[in-house]
Structure 1
């Protein structure tokens, strides 16, 4: 038991090098220009390498832990899924060009540590889809993320069981098929041999580290089921997808009308989300949408500087004001009143 815990601890320690480097003398609240100027003075290519290496060291620790019985194997499955989610979000900031100092380093780090091993597809394709198509069109007809939600069943009239299934779409047969199809598509095309080599290397590493238990519980279940569900939950809480307030004006004012901020009144739930399914600034998606060039380390300070968004829910599923309830209400058409029959005299 001591070995996997020591490996996981070593991975966490490696990740802190980047956090400490960028967090020194960070203001509590500041505008985007000040924060971008600060992050530029600290931009480098070494601490992001340490950060990404630490994520994979933690994954290796979870693989070792999976061999210590069924309960710890299940725990490892969740732990690895969380690390995969972290890798996705780190590479998201590489897409925006603010993970490392140079564009080449952003591309190389994201492809090497996230896109290739997790079979996420080419980074330029993600950049086109996310930066050029999603950000300017969030919640609008041409938003590819909105189209993805609709394909999963989140569309007007989705009530009852269909709506509930859409909330756990990656865990359903249709969602599993979409995940598998996406992985297969990412392994084809140009440089297919390289794109197949990286997942094969990860598969071999999992098996050599912890045998079949690590392979199944530490790789296949997290990659095919648990991590996609965590990413799906993150997508659900990015925007008020189906009833945004369409505004004009500054970027912050526009985004405040179509973004939300989860857990604004619970530090405990916010901290839990930030360390699991909404990592590396994803909890502060409103601030990111308003100023995508700000690195995650500075999004809390930016958020404190901005006017709050129009929706600040207590939770995704549980609470008095939840994201799921709002989405359901926006997708459910109001009942039509039947015309009254005149009373005969």
Structure 2
């Protein structure tokens, strides 16, 4: 067990080198031009490589720990799911071309450390879907592929409360699990390249060598099929006011402020917890990212302090008045938000 904990600690330390390099002397608040200039001055290929290697080193440590009893296996399942979620978000910035210094290394790192081992499919297809289809058309019905995914899960106008509740945990339902499995199969088979299947085999073999069948089940299958997809799904739900955006014209920040939200703006504890688990690497600051997609995650908090707040800043995700889930449900039922009611009354 001590060896497993040492490996986890070593991986965590390795990850910090990227953070230390990019955030030193970072201003607390600044505009995008200043932050992009700082980002370009510090861009390199070695720091993100060590960051990704550290993620997998920690995953290996959790595989080793999984063999030490049921509680350790449960902890490993949750921790590995978090790391898979981190790998998804790190590769997201590679898709935007800002993880590493060159386009070729961005592609290579995303494929080798995230898309191949997690069976996410080719990076070039993700770039088409995310950068070209989603970003310019966020929350636009019939255009935004992310909104189509939400609709297919049952989040559409007039949906019942029961269907809505099931849609919030869609990846954990039989239909969602089947969709995840099909996505993995497509990711492995796409393009007919042998190395995609080999990458999955290498992950399973390494998990087995590190912690036996317990590590394979609790450290690969459960996180990849259930826990990580659910974390990613909640992140998607939390990105925009999907069903009642304010359609605006003007600067990118003004447009995005009308269709983005910012979770936990007044609760530092929940914000920190989200940022280290299911909303990592700048995903908590999705509004700032949407306003300036070419900015690395290290600088999004500084940009966010420079921008005006988006039109929805909830302190709750799933339950209670003012929560993200309740707003989505009301929007799907054609009910106006309090802010919209105030505007209607004023006019």
1:94 maps to what in 2?
94
Higher mean alpha-carbon deviation, 311-320 vs 106-115, is at 311-320
Deviation at 1:223, TM superposition (A): 0.2
Deviation at 1:320, TM superposition (A): 3.3
2:20 maps to what in 1?
20
Structure 2 residue ranges without an equivalent (≥5): 336-347
2:19 and 2:221 mapped to 1: Cα distance? Answer: 30
Deviation at 1:186, TM superposition (A): 1.1
1:69 maps to what in 2?
69
1:10 maps to what in 2?
10
Q: CA RMSD in A?
A: 0.8
1:203 maps to what in 2?
204
Q: Check the 8 A contact 2:320/2:326 in 1, yes or no.
A: no
2:164 maps to what in 1?
163
Deviation at 1:2, TM superposition (A): 1.4
1:239 maps to what in 2?
240
Superposed CA offset, 1:5-33 (max 9, x none):
11111010000000000001000000001
Deviation at 1:315, TM superposition (A): 1.7
1:285 maps to what in 2?
286
TM superposition outliers: structure 1 runs of 4+ over 4 Å: none
Q: Check the 8 A contact 2:121/2:190 in 1, yes or no.
A: no
Deviation at 1:319, TM superposition (A): 4.4
Aligned ranges 1:235-314 → 2 under 5 Å: 235-314=236-315
Superposed CA offset, 1:246-265 (max 9, x none):
00000000000000000000
Structure 1 residue ranges without an equivalent (≥5): 335-345
1:290 and 1:319 mapped to 2: Cα distance? Answer: 29
Query: For 1:190, what is the secondary structure of its paired residue?
Result: helix
Q: Check the 8 A contact 2:263/2:313 in 1, yes or no.
A: yes
Superposed CA offset, 1:178-201 (max 9, x none):
101111111123242111010110
Q: Check the 8 A contact 1:262/1:315 in 2, yes or no.
A: yes
Superposed CA offset, 1:37-69 (max 9, x none):
000000000000000000000100110111111
1:337 maps to what in 2?
none
2:341 maps to what in 1?
none
1:228 maps to what in 2?
229
Aligned ranges 1:209-220 → 2 under 5 Å: 209-220=210-221
Deviation at 1:292, TM superposition (A): 0.2
1:155 and 1:73 mapped to 2: Cα distance? Answer: 38
Tell whether 2:321 aligns with 1:320.
yes
2:68 and 2:189 mapped to 1: Cα distance? Answer: 37
Q: Quick check: which has more Rg, 1 or 2?
A: 1
1:83 and 1:248 mapped to 2: Cα distance? Answer: 38
TM-score (norm 2): 0.95
Deviation at 1:160, TM superposition (A): 1.7
Q: Check the 8 A contact 2:275/2:284 in 1, yes or no.
A: yes
Deviation at 1:318, TM superposition (A): 3.4
1:254 and 1:130 mapped to 2: Cα distance? Answer: 18
Query: For 2:189, what is the secondary structure of its paired residue?
Result: coil
1:98 and 1:212 mapped to 2: Cα distance? Answer: 37
Q: Check the 8 A contact 1:314/1:320 in 2, yes or no.
A: no
2:9 and 2:63 mapped to 1: Cα distance? Answer: 14
Superposed CA offset, 1:235-287 (max 9, x none):
00000000000000000000000000000000000000000000000000000
Query: For 1:194, what is the secondary structure of its paired residue?
Result: helix
Query: For 2:190, what is the secondary structure of its paired residue?
Result: coil
Q: Check the 8 A contact 1:11/1:53 in 2, yes or no.
A: yes
2:75 and 2:190 mapped to 1: Cα distance? Answer: 36
Q: Check the 8 A contact 1:65/1:73 in 2, yes or no.
A: yes
Q: Check the 8 A contact 2:235/2:278 in 1, yes or no.
A: yes
Tell whether 2:51 aligns with 1:85.
no
